[in-house]
């Protein structure tokens, strides 16, 4: 076995989690957790000399080799609710449309996963190809609830809408009314309508609520290398799972890759993207538009309350108001807005 100290913590992950006592404690625990799990699951790191593990916003992912020599990925997440329920969704999907779960350790918020190709996602794929892959994966991921115990772990999208009906107006007022009331009311109408429909609907499925382009990775030695990618060649990661209307999943496609919208008509391009991806997955484009509007208003209020997210706030307001049919004045052009997690200076 490699010593746990041989696995460095990615600098951006360390910088993010040194800001709080809980984060610092988690960072300090990472070498021991990694070492214990390497021994438990009989793994060795598969990092090139000087290479860093992969990481997302809230987890470190170490490429490893299993005892039989097969590649895998060890994911160690900062303990939070989305990370705790991820293993239940992956267990239900059983490798169909999503990364395969090989083992898990709930107490340490860790999983051993099938290793995908982190260098090949849908982030640079042409939009028609991305829509075909995304739509095919959504069809596979949209499981209907049954009596298995994992289903009890997920929140319901309709309940989230009901919560937003109370929280959004209170947050909007407390934050100094950071955008026009009509946009808030448009989101509240969605919450009230879709929340009620969701409670009565027989359309409940398991929903990957963060299914954006970077969270869809190629599976090695599959159809992902074909001239035209197919859903069988890709798998979803980082699901943030919920139960409810599958149209809830479309929104992250709309607040990512704004630079790929048509230069002359980005507003109509955004609405067309919503329709194209919805159609590819057999979803209702109008319901998808409504949910995306509400989700972006909720995002905008979070950004408004957290310093350092000026670009993210502008992006959310542009997307939300454009989906509402009245793009707010005074915002930067769509192509000047940053991608999530980037600043204005990073964009372009």
The DSSP result for 171-193, as a single string, is: HHHHTT--S-HHHHHHHHHHHHH
pLDDT of residue 316: 98
Handedness of CA 323, 123, 230, 145 (dihedral sign): negative
pLDDT, position 4: 45
Is the Cβ–Cβ distance between 344 and 312 less than 8 Å? no
Give the pLDDT score at 67.
Answer: 95
Catalytic residue, chosen from 91, 105, 155, 210, is: 210
Reading the block at residue 271, the tokens are 């609405």
Query: Which homologous superfamily does the CATH classification assign to the domain defined by 126-336?
Result: Aminoglycoside phosphotransferase (APH), C-terminal lobe (3.90.1200.10)
CATH of the domain spanning 4-118 = 3.30.200.20
Q: In angstroms, what is the C-alpha Rg of the chain? A: 20
pLDDT at 3: 45
Residue 312 catalytic? Answer: no
Largest distance between two CA atoms of the chain? 60
Q: Which of 143, 44, 145, 155 is nearest to 96 (CA)?
A: 143
CA dihedral 165, 167, 168, 172 (to 10 degrees): 140
Instruction: Name the burial class of residue 48, with classes exposed (0-12), middle (13-18) and buried (19+) by CB atoms within 10 angstroms of its CB.
Output: exposed
The pLDDT profile of the chain, 348 residues, written as one tens digit per residue, is 444 446 888 998 999 899 999 999 999 999 999 999 999 999 999 998 888 999 888 899 999 999 999 999 999 999 988 888 999 999 999 999 999 999 999 999 999 999 999 889 999 999 999 999 999 999 999 999 999 999 999 999 999 999 999 999 999 999 999 999 999 999 999 999 998 776 676 789 999 999 999 999 999 865 444 567 788 999 999 999 999 999 999 999 999 999 999 999 999 999 999 999 999 999 999 999 999 999 999 999 999 999 889 999 999 999 999 999 999 999 999 999 999 976 443 333
Which stretches does DSSP call E strand in the chain? 44-45, 54-55, 59-65, 71-77, 101-105, 110-114, 117-121, 205-208, 216-218, 234-236, 241-244
Q: Which segments of 18-126 does DSSP mark as H helices, in order?
A: 21-40, 81-93
**CA 43 centroid distance within chain:** 28
The domain limits of the chain are 4-118, 126-336
Torsion 171-173-176-182 (CA) sign: positive
CA distance 112 to 66: 10
Could you give the CA distance from residue 109 to residue 112 in angstroms, rounded to a whole number?
Answer: 11
The Cα 327–Cα 309 span in angstroms is 20
Q: What dihedral do alpha carbons 259, 262, 266, 268 form, nearest 10°?
A: -140
End-to-end CA distance of the chain: 44
For 64, counting Cβ atoms within 10 Å of its Cβ (0-12 exposed, 13-18 middle, 19+ buried), the class is buried
DSSP percent split of the chain into helix, strand, coil, nearest 5 = 50, 15, 35
> Rounded to whole angstroms, what are the CA distances from 152 to 13, 198, 241?
31, 17, 12
Determine phi and psi for 304, rounding to 5 degrees. -65, -30
Q: Which residues of 104-143 are buried (b: 16+ CB within 10 A; e: fewer)?
A: bbeebbbbbbbbbbeebbbeebebeebbbbbbbbbeebbb
Determine the 3-state secondary structure of 242 from DSSP.
strand
> In the prediction, which pLDDT does 197 show?
73
């Amino acid at each position: 076995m490699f010593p746990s100290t041989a696995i460095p913590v990615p600098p951006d992950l360390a910088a993010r989690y040194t800001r709080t006592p809980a984060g610092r404690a988690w960072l300090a625990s990472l070498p021991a957790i990694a070492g214990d799990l390497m021994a438990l699951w009989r793994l060795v790191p598969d990092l090139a000399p000087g290479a860093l593990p992969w990481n997302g916003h809230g987890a470190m992912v170490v490429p490893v080799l299993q005892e039989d020599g097969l590649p895998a990925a060890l994911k160690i997440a900062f303990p939070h609710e989305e990370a705790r329920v991820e293993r239940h969704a992956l267990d239900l999907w059983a490798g169909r449309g999503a990364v395969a779960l090989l083992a898990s350790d709930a107490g340490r918020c860790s999983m051993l996963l099938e290793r995908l190709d982190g260098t090949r996602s849908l982030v640079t794929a042409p939009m028609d190809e991305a829509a075909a892959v995304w739509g095919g994966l959504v069809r596979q991921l949209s499981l209907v609830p049954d009596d298995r115990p994992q289903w009890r772990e997920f929140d319901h999208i309709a309940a989230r809408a009901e919560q937003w009906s109370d929280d959004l107006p209170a947050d909007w007022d407390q934050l100094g009314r950071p955008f026009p009331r009509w946009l808030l009311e448009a989101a509240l109408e969605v919450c009230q309508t879709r929340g009620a429909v969701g409670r009565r609907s027989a359309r409940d499925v398991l929903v990957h609520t963060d299914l954006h382009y970077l969270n869809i990775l190629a599976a090695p030695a599959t159809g992902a290398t074909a001239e035209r990618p197919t859903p069988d060649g890709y798998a979803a990661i980082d699901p943030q799972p919920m139960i409810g209307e599958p149209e809830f999943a479309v929104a992250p496609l709309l607040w990512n890759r704004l630079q790929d919208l048509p230069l002359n008509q980005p507003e109509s391009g955004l609405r067309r993207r919503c329709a194209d991806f919805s159609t590819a997955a057999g979803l209702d484009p109008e319901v998808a538009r409504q949910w995306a509007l509400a989700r972006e208003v909720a995002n905008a209020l979070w950004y408004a309350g957290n310093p350092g997210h000026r670009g993210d706030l502008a992006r959310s307001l542009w997307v939300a108001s454009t989906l509402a049919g009245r793009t707010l004045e005074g915002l930067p052009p769509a192509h000047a807005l940053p991608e999530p997690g980037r600043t204005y200076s990073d964009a372009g």
